[in-house]
Structure 1
Amino acid sequence: MLARLRRSAVLLTGALIPVTLLVGQPAASASAADPMSAAFARAATTYEVPRDLLVSLAYAETHLDGHDGKPSASGGYGVMHLVTSRTLERAATVTKQPVSALKSDDAANIAGGAAVLRAYADELGLSAAARKDAGKWYEAVAKYGNASSADVARLYADTVYDLLTEGVRATTPGGENVTVQPRAVQPDRGAYAKAKDLDNPNTLAASTDYPSAVWVPAHSSNYAVSSRPTSDAIDRIVIHVAQGSYAGTISWFQNGPRANPTSSHYVVRSSDGAVTQMVREKDRAFHAGDYNRRSVGIEHEGFVNNASWFTDAMYRSSAALTRNIADRYGIPKDRTHIVGHNQVPGADHTDPGGFWDWTKYMGYVTGGSGGTPNPHTAESVCGSGFKVIDSAALGTAGTVYLLYNTATSNNCVATIKKTSVGTASAVSAYLEVQGKTRVTDTGNFAYYAGPVKAAAADKCVKWGGKAGTSVYDSGFEHCT
């Protein structure tokens, strides 16, 4: 039978967008072989959303795993994480799809996410020309994240745009490969340009307990003010998996009051191991039932049934945090005192789940390297005569160094990786001598970025770099 063409329309914020639907047509062979890629392509065309932006957003939320229609901790469903009482119902209204399909069918869910994103773009007044520029969708992406504050909305959107810039290579639960090629995108942050950059610790108040964390307080209803360890001894560390994204978890803990108050002391990001503290260790976070009084809780971005979230960077960073907590409170570094949420008496949770590698994790906690050391140093990269005069940690992913050669009056900048050593990943280094053009070395490198050298006698310099999604930017300094 010949396919029947049916002209329909989608209503988005008062505008009718014509859509051509094929009824009764067998799927093309490419669609049959790559159903999720085809769904992203269809949704992008139907709602005029950049396809790569749509994939990057979905990957940031779920790693393209719909979790068989089961909700995240914050009530989000499917590949696009459509959230109950927010984006889920709006997607149903716009697409005319039943909520049950939006929850469990990947293609319907992807179309629903695209429809909501387009509706936000229309509300923001994006023209047809602007919609072709992925950078112009920034505010719509930030709104899609349903963040509890402008700062967390920026964190959410920045994560999506980092993925868009660096590229995505994902394998779906069905074994399909979905990719986004790296591309240069300049995000137009609009009103969010004034929000705090939660990825830049230089702009934030320091964490009260762990120097490597940034401080983003949970809502006061989600924890109990206390005076530990005076009031209650701290003798346990509880490992959690958030069943959600990094930004989404931070937003969830900032949200309140609600019927089921929830928080943890720390949240750790998958991609680079960045750490956010949300409850002071002296206070009781609501994370582990009977263990709330005696423990510190660490949430990890991801889902228990998808091992792709559990990166080496996350393990290393979390283990360093656990080791620091254990040392300060005299907690033994063993599996009796460092436990999963599922081990807490009376717990009905399964996290961190079977994909969590306890052997690797505890090896890092007790001081084992657990990975390939970087054979290069900043001095070896920059060459003879250069000595380190400054450095800045890039989360746990690496360190950027500023060096100086007294014989030549040259500066040099190099970024040395600490994670994914030997595997090409995004890393950069730059040096800017005052009054001259900035020079940057950036790309996917196995061991380091740089060397970036320039003569800077009696000149101030800016320097910095990036590893994963952690960035350091200095001001003009080292002027003599």
Structure 2
Amino acid sequence: MLLPLLGAAPAPGVAPAADSADSALQAAFATASAEYGVPQSVLLGVAYLQSRWDGHGGAPSVTGGYGPMHLTDARTALADAPHHSAGTEDPRGDSARPALLPTAAPPPAGLPARLSTLPRAAELTGLSPERLRTDPAANVAGGAALLAAAQRELGAPASGDPARWYGAVARFSGADDSATAAVYADDVFEVIRSGQRRVTDSGQRVALAARPALAPDTGQVRALGLRDASADGTECPATVSCEWIPAPYEQFGDGDYGNHDLGGRPRTQRIEYIVVHDTEGRWEGVLDMVQDPTYVSWNYSLRSTDGHIAQHVKAKDVAWHAGNWYINSGSIGLEHEGFLAAPDAWYTEAMYRSSARLVRYLADRYDIPLDRQHILGHDNVPGPTAATVPGMHTDPGPYWDWAHYFALLGRPFKPTAKAGAGMVTILPEYARNRPEFTGCATKGEPCPVHGSSAVRLRTGPGTSYPLVKDVGLRPGGGPSTIDVNDIGSRVSTGQQYAVAGRDGEWTAIWYLGQKAWFHDPADARVAVPAKGKVVSARAGLESVPVYGRAYPEASAYPAGVPAQGVVPLPYALPAGQRYVVGGVVRGAYYYAVSFDAAGHRVVTGKDRYYAIQFGHRVAYVKASDVEVRPSSRR
């Protein structure tokens, strides 16, 4: 019903669409612009900030948003289990204290308006919800109708000047506070000023010509009547919207307390890592969880629809989020609104950008390297002991776009060595890389086809070879699977590994103590050459132990602080194999098992460890057990 207007002339600042099948989406923006009186550049800018113009094959986002305009219909997107009570992972991850397996209250009833924009778009356009979900052109029309309605509600004319639409764009964000709405609108207009051009996940060529002189009326946000969310007390960059919603440090029950520990970082111990999570719950319920003293904590939450940030735990203090006390003690945890119940779902550009700004700010403030051995997914955090390995969490999963995320961080992945180097960086093209997964909705059932950061590993150079095994995940030696939560036989974008061999279109790497092969054809490369440092077993040793935490030697513990066992994981690093080094650390343990912080101690030993990329997760080896050499040396 939208096609008769395809001949409409493009507005100033919008690239004209070619008359071909791969320009249908560009034409849909022109059609919707003419139908609803919204400037094309505004439609294109909003859609880019929501989805980068991708349609995702009609699949919903992590908050039930559909299509290029991210029209939300989140009624079916609610997870059955909250994040930290799913599985057997102890979020605190400290064997000096009883395992913490909290149970959260059910999510609140009802949906906020920002998660129900698709039904409203259906009312405005007369199009069916199903069509708005699955037809990109209809979806764009729905977004245009919402913007036009917002403009009318503000009493503003349906102007052809994009500068007059700042308030409507801010309203479209769905934000409930003025700061978030303004940051969202600022981002949209920055997209319009800078211009964008890309090929979408369905092969559509879409372009937005730059309008560098565009200056919108930012004062329009005051007419929205939104609440003021103060950033006072937060540790956030000025380029994001952020508010302080503190996690409680309270004592309760029989001497128990929650839901984090007071500390003195970085004075008392370095902050080495930032851990990326998804929440497994929607925003309102997640905020209820982190404010419950009987639950667990993380440092920041990020909202999907508009990128708004809430800080809960100061960087100096230790949140309970990663399932490994050593990592918790040296990390900051970021929870991104999302659902593992639908792990094929996608994340909005607004949240990616907000998260990247926060991570850049934290990395600069605490001198954290911007690489995949320091910016970790929860699925990259090692189990602290052998018993904990099978229960560790697997978020944000294979559909988090690490390549795009690091491009936003200003550290895009790229070749750093010549072809044939002894080390590689995993770097598939996200949209084209579509490995099969099962278990997204029903165990054993195929997941929807979707771009991915993951690359699968086999025991030999061909698809007839079985997947490599993970003896930590399956102590009995069972086979790996293609289940979306099974990380035993896959690597991810940005991770680096030492090359173990090459055979035609196949490359082998050292992985979990074995040789693992991935398909790397010339016309669809999934890895690029790299250089760095690698470790191997010291001469004379048949193998060396691998650890999930870098704890100090027993003699380092003072009186009154029980020595923690330095217990290896069920893996080994055999002689002749090489693993990429992420850094060197001294053994350290933060003793904090009581509410009274006066008894807390940071124990630092003499033993040094190398952090290495060992499998899908990072791990540690003692410096005394290994030799370090350049990756170019074979």
- 1: CA distance, partners of 2:320 / 2:128: 35
**CA apart distance, 1:116:** 0.8
In structure 1, distance between residues paired with 2:319 and 2:21: 47
The structural deviation recorded for 1:133 is: 1.6
Distance 1:342 1:96, change over 3 A: farther
Match of 1:321 in 2: 362
Equivalence for 1:37? 26
User: How far apart, in 1, do the equivalents of 2:240 and 2:350 lie?
Assistant: 21
Q: Structure 1 regions of 5+ residues with no counterpart? A: 1-5, 7-18, 23-27, 196-202, 244-248, 372-480
Does the C-alpha gap of structure 1 residues 122 and 70 become closer, same or farther in structure 2, counting only changes over 3 Å?
A: same
Cα deviation, residue 237, structure 1: 3.2
Match for 1:343 among 374, 380, 385? 380
The residue type equivalent to 1:346 in the other structure is: M
Q: State whether structure 2 residue 38 is matched by structure 1 residue 49.
A: yes
Q: Deviation digits for residues 446-472 of structure 1, max 9, x if unmatched?
A: xxxxxxxxxxxxxxxxxxxxxxxxxxx
Contact 1:222 1:285 in 2 (8 A): no
**1:95 to 1:289, Cα distance in 2 relative to 1, 3 A:** farther
Among 157, 163, 183, the residue aligned to 1:155: 183
Supply the distance in 2 between the matched residues of 1:256 and 1:300 (Cα, whole angstroms): 12
Structure 2 CA distance for aligned equivalents of residues 37 and 204 of structure 1: 39
Cα shift at 1:281: 2.6
Q: Which one of the candidate residues 305, 311, 314 is aligned to 1:278? A: 311
Structure 2 distance, partners of 1:307, 1:127, is 29
The separation in 2 between residues aligned to 1:41 and 1:110, in whole angstroms, is 10
Counterpart CA distance in 2 for 1:320 and 1:33 is 39
Using the alignment, how far apart are the partners of 1:168 and 1:60 within structure 2? 11
Asked if the contact 1:219–1:254 (Cα under 8 Å) also holds between the matched residues in 2, the reply is: no
Q: Which amino acid aligns with 1:49?
A: V
Is residue 118 from structure 1 mapped to residue 164 from structure 2 by the alignment? no
Instruction: Find the structure with the greater CA-based Rg.
Output: 2
- CA contact under 8 A between 1:228 and 1:281: conserved in structure 2? no
Cα drift, residue 265 of structure 1: 3.1
1:91 alignment partner, one of 106, 121, 132: 121
Tell me the CA shift for residue 153 of structure 1. 0.3
Superposed, 1:186-197 pairs within 5 Å as: 186-192=215-221
* TM-fit CA distance, 1:154: 0.2
CA distance in 1, matches of 2:290, 2:372: 35
What are the Cα deviations for residues 278-333 of structure 1, in whole angstroms up to 9, with x where unaligned?
Answer: 23235676865677965422468999979999999998984773475477xxx9x9
Does the 8 Å contact 2:48/2:349 carry over to 1? no
- Corresponding residue to 2:202 among 174, 184, 187: 174
Classify 1:45/1:240 alpha carbon distance in 2 versus 1 (closer, same or farther; 3 Å): same
Within the alignment, does 1:185 sit opposite 2:214 as a pair? yes
Mapping for residues 109-258 of structure 1, pairs under 5 Å: 109-128=139-158, 131-183=159-211, 184-192=213-221, 205=232, 207-208=234-235, 216-220=242-246, 226-229=260-263, 237-240=273-276, 252=283, 256-257=287-288
* Cα pair distance change 1:122/1:192, threshold 3 Å: closer
C-alpha contact (below 8 Å) 1:64/1:172 kept by paired residues: yes
Aligned CA distance change for structure 1 residues 94 and 264 (closer, same or farther; 3 Å):
farther
Residues 164-195 of structure 1: CA distance to partner in whole angstroms, max 9, x if unpaired?
11212222113332111122322122342699
Aligned residue type for 2:260: S
Q: What CA deviation, in whole Å up to 9, does each residue of 1:210-250 have, x standing for no partner?
A: 8898782254579976333489999873542779xxxxx9x
Contact 1:207 1:214 in 2 (8 A): no
Question: In structure 2, what is the Cα distance between the partners aligned to 1:122 and 1:307?
Answer: 26
Q: Is the contact made by 1:342 and 1:352 (CA closer than 8 Å) also made in structure 2? A: no
Q: Secondary structure at the match of 2:261?
A: coil
1:82 paired residue number: 71
Amino acid in structure 2 at the alignment position of 1:190: G
Supply the distance in 1 between the matched residues of 2:57 and 2:318 (Cα, whole angstroms): 34
Alignment size in residue pairs: 320
Identity rate of aligned residues, in percent?
31
Q: SS at the partner of 2:152?
A: helix
Larger relative contact order (Cα-Cα within 8 Å, sequence gap ≥ 6): 2
Say which SS state the counterpart of residue 65 (structure 1) adopts. Answer: coil
Q: State the distance in 2 between where 1:205 and 1:283 align.
A: 18
Cα distance change of structure 1 residues 222 and 118 upon mapping to structure 2, 3 Å threshold: farther
Alignment map for 1:18-29 (pairs within 5 Å): none
SS across alignment from 1:182: coil
Counterpart-to-counterpart distance in 1, 2:185 and 2:237: 25
Deviation digits for residues 36-79 of structure 1, max 9, x if unmatched?
A: 10111111111111011100111011111122223323332211
Q: Which amino acid aligns with 1:278?
A: Q
Shift, 1:122, TM fit: 1.3
Measured in 1, the distance between the counterparts of 2:291 and 2:126 equals 32
Distance 1:137 1:264, change over 3 A: farther
- Distance in 2 separating the partners of 1:260 and 1:126: 40
Aligned residue identity for 2:273: I
Contact 2:67–2:133 (8 Å) recurs in 1: yes
Change (3 A) 1:230 1:80: same
Deviations 1:101-146 (A, max 9, x none): 2222211111111111111111112224xx2121111111001001
**Cα gap change, 1:170/1:308 in structure 2, threshold over 3 Å: closer, same or farther?**
farther
CA RMSD of aligned residues (A): 5.5
In the alignment, is the contact (CA less than 8 A) between 1:228 and 1:234 conserved in 2?
no
Alignment match, 1:73: 62
Shift in alpha-carbon separation, 1:172–1:275, aligned structure 2, 3 A? same
Q: Which structure: greater helix fraction?
A: 1
Instruction: State whether residues 213 and 276 of structure 1, in contact with CA within 8 Å, keep that contact through their aligned partners in structure 2.
Output: no
Q: Is the contact made by 2:195 and 2:210 (CA closer than 8 Å) also made in structure 1?
A: yes
Distance in 2 separating the partners of 1:68 and 1:53: 23
Alignment partners' CA distance in 2, 1:346 and 1:103: 34
Question: Contact conserved, 2:263 with 2:318, CA < 8 A, in 1?
Answer: no
Structure 2, unpaired ranges of 5+: 6-16, 74-114, 225-229, 250-257, 339-343, 382-390, 417-634
Give the Cα separation in 2 of the matches to 1:31 and 1:225: 57
Corresponding residue of 1:416: none
1:147 CA displacement: 1.0
